[in-house]
Each structure stands twice: as C-alpha cells, then as structure tokens.
Amino acid sequence: MVDVVVIDRAGAAHEFTASPGGSLMEAIRSQGIYDIKALCGGSCSCATCHVYVETPGLMATVSADEDDLLDGVSDRREGSRLACQISLHEGLAALRVTIAPED
C-alpha cells in the first residue's frame, strides 16, 4: 500500500492509503477530491491534473510528452508533475502532493 497526503486547493489535507498499480490521479479522484479535472481521462494530453510533488526525487523521470504539457501551464515549478503520469508503487511510501492552482 502507498500512503498519500494530498493538499487540495483550499489547503485541506487528505490522507489515505492507495493500492499500488494505478495512477495518482485515479487514487485522488477515488477519494472524492475533484480539484483535479482530468479532462483527458489520464492519457497525458490536457495537464488538468497538475500537482506539486513534495519529494520529486521519488518519481520516475518526466517523459517528453509530460514535459511539453507542463511547459504550457502557468504555475510550473520544481516538483511539477501530472498526477496521471505518477504510477503508484511500494517505493512511494509517504507521497505528499499539493494540487496546483487551476490554469
């Protein structure tokens, strides 16, 4: 299991445990946190699931497609990722993210 903390746009913290194998986007939405629109359904084509990862060193390298989409958001910063591109696995214990402002 993966322990996740999500800070929503209102600043509220949501702590939950997610099963490995899915994406962070799916886990967030399954918790009823709808600040992430995920308009493309997780196909890495819209950037509406932009989050800031507190410990980006735990993540896999950003793909060229994800990097291109993140270049188009106004609030990109270190740790910016698309939640649909973060695969949950056991090595992500204590994953903490903040949902980026709506673009």
Average pLDDT over residues 51-64: 83
Decide if pLDDT at 79 tops 70. yes
Q: What is the CATH number of the domain that holds 84?
A: 3.10.20.30
Average pLDDT over residues 51-75: 89
Q: List the beta bridge partners of residue 6.
A: 14, 97
CA 53 to chain centre: 7
Q: State the pTM of this model.
A: 0.92
Average pLDDT over residues 72-79: 94
Decide if pLDDT at 93 tops 80. no
| Distance from C-alpha of 89 to C-alpha of 4, rounded to nearest angstrom | 11
The phi, psi pair for 37, rounded to 5°, reads -75, -40
Number of domains in the chain: 1
Sorting pLDDT into bands at 50, 70 and 90, what band is 89? confident
Nearby residues of 56 by Cβ (< 8 Å), 6 or more positions away: 78, 79, 81
| Distance from C-alpha of 44 to C-alpha of 60, rounded to nearest angstrom | 15
**Domain with 15 in it:** 2-99
